[in-house]
């Protein structure tokens, strides 16, 4: 007599299923249950079901404990790389800067059309731009933060950048001005302006005679 085939999905060869990993990583990224459900286009009950399964499998029950638990999906690139990593730890260049915005479409138009930053891609309420090799993320998920850091955008010619941006409608706080002169004669020049939410940015340039 042949064995009866078990119904349902086949067992997954990892501590969590792909759906559970996605849910856990979204939770660890600070998203609420309703945000995860909306992003995944599923019900809140489905996300709660995944969270219960995650808690049972890894033996943690507090939301803070889940956020601090570090695990890597078996089929991820991080898992494949971890065994081969033998180099000494060292921080590299800044890879991404995040800025909160009121409206991702409005801000994407301003950063792309007015400032001329190359648009990389948009994902839901997140838009990404290339800022001279550093990725700029515009985030419309959690509201505008008024006290965010100033973005200093390096330009080769501050006079040219000032005139071009002014023609595109940028209103500067003041004209470009020298901030400092180094011992070797290098001059630091800056000019400040505001984004659609009223927060400061600056163009900056280093120049020598």
Mean pLDDT by 10 residues, the chain (209 residues): 48 85 90 90 96 94 88 80 60 88 95 96 91 94 84 92 94 90 90 93 89
- Residues of the chain within CATH 3.10.180.10 domain(s) are 95-147, 150-209
Class for the domain spanning 150-209: alpha beta
CATH for the 18-72 domain, from 3.40.50.300, 1.10.10.10, 3.40.630.30, 1.10.150.240: 1.10.10.10
Distance CA 133, CA 118 (A): 10
Cα 53 off chain centre by: 28
pLDDT of 142 reads 76
Quote the tokens at residue 6: 């078990």
pLDDT of 29 reads 83
> pTM score, two decimals?
0.73
- Residues of the chain within CATH 1.10.10.10 domain(s) are 18-72
CATH of domain 95-147: 3.10.180.10
Smallest CA-to-CA distance from 83 within 92, 91, 72, 93 is with 72
């Amino acid at each position: 007599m042949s064995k009866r085939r078990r119904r349902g999905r086949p067992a997954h060869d990892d501590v969590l299923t792909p759906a559970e990993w996605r849910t856990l990583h979204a939770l660890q990224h600070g998203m609420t249950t309703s945000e995860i459900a909306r992003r995944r286009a599923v019900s809140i009950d489905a996300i709660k079901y995944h969270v219960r399964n995650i808690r049972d499998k890894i033996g943690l029950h507090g939301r803070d404990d889940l956020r601090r638990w570090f695990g890597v999906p078996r089929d991820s690139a991080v898992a494949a790389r971890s065994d081969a990593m033998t180099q000494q730890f060292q921080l590299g260049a800044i890879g991404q800067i995040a800025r909160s915005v009121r409206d991702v479409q409005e801000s994407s138009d301003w950063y792309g059309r007015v400032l001329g930053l190359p648009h990389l891609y948009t994902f839901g309420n997140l838009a990404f731009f290339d800022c001279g090799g550093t990725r700029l993320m515009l985030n419309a998920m959690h509201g505008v933060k008024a006290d965010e850091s100033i973005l200093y955008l390096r330009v080769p010619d501050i006079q040219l950048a000032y005139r071009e941006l002014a023609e595109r409608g940028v209103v500067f706080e003041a004209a470009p001005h020298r901030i400092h002169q180094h011992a070797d004669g290098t001059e630091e020049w800056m000019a400040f302006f505001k984004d659609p939410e009223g927060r400061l940015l600056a163009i900056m340039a280093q120049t020598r005679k």
